[in-house]
Copies of this chain bind each other. A is one copy, B any other.
Amino acid sequence: MSELFTGELTTKAKTVAVIMAGGSGTRFWPASRTSFPKQFLSLSGSERSLIQATADRLAPLVGSEATLVVTSRAQMELVHQHLPEAAVLAEPMARNTAPCVGYAALKVLESVGDVPMIVLPADHYIRREEGLVEVCRRAAQLATEQDVLITIGIPPTSPETGYGYIQAGEPFPGGDGAVRNVSRFVEKPDRATAEGYLASGDYFWNSGMFIWRPSVILAAISEHLPKLAGSLERIGACIRKSCPDSEIEAEFEAIDPVSVDVGVMEKAANVAMMPGTSFSWSDIGSWDAWADLMRSNSSDGSGNVVQGDVLAIDCTNLVAVAKERLIAAVGLDDVIIVEAGDAVLVCPSSRAQDVKRVVEEFKKSGRQELL
Contact = CB atoms under 8 A, between A and B. Distances in A.
A345 interface: yes
Given A331-B350, A350-B331, A351-B331, A344 B326 contact: yes
A325 interface: yes
Contact of A346 (B342, B346, B357, B370): B346
A186 interface: no
Contacts of A327: 343-344, 346
Contacts of A326: 342-344, 370
Interface stretch (A121-129, A233-241, A333-341): A333-341
A249 interface: no
A289 interface: no
Copies of this chain present in the complex amount to 2
B344 A313 contact: no
A348 B342 CA distance: 23
Given A30-B328, A331-B348, 17 more contacts: A29-B328, A311-B362, A313-B361, A314-B354, A322-B344, A326-B344, A326-B370, A328-B345, A328-B358, A330-B345, A330-B346, A330-B347, A330-B348, A330-B355, A330-B358, A339-B344, A346-B346
Interface of A: 29-30, 311, 313-314, 322, 325-332, 335, 337, 339, 341-348, 350-351, 354-355, 357-358, 361-362, 370
